[in-house]
Amino acid sequence: MYARRRYRYFVMMGTCLTLFVLAWGVVRLWSVPVAVGMCLVAMVIPPLAAVVANRRGPDDRWWDDPSGDPKSDEWWDELDGKKRPGRQP
């Protein structure tokens, strides 16, 4: 899952860079408003790429998931003030 997210991130950032370079290197010679529009589109891509790169996948472990170590999970539950069902205090 991580490799797929990283690939999508680099594709999006490459598209952003390509749009920006083409806008001011080539397109501005024919139409400045189109070049500005391309830059506006390129401006929106980096935040979206960051969201895509940091999105949690279905197989990713999240910070509050049990680790599998009962002692560690019990310790964290105590710190968080949680009681797990089926456990005696």
Q: What is the DSSP string of 11-57?
A: HHHHHHHHHHHHHHHTGGGT-HHHHHHHHHHHHHHHHHHHHHHHPPP
Under the banding of pLDDT at 50, 70 and 90, the label for residue 17 is: very high
Rounded mean pLDDT, 2-8: 85
* CA dihedral of residues 21, 26, 31, 35 (deg, nearest 10): -10
State how far the Cα of 22 lies from the Cα of 28, in Å rounded to an integer: 8
Query: What mean pLDDT value characterizes the chain?
Result: 83
Predicted confidence (pLDDT) at residue 59 exceeds the cutoff of 90: no
Under the banding of pLDDT at 50, 70 and 90, the label for residue 70 is: confident
- What values do phi and psi take at 14, rounded to 5? -65, -40
Type of residue numbered 4: R
Predicted confidence (pLDDT) at residue 50 exceeds the cutoff of 60: yes
Which range scores top for mean pLDDT: 26-35, 46-55, 80-89?
A: 26-35
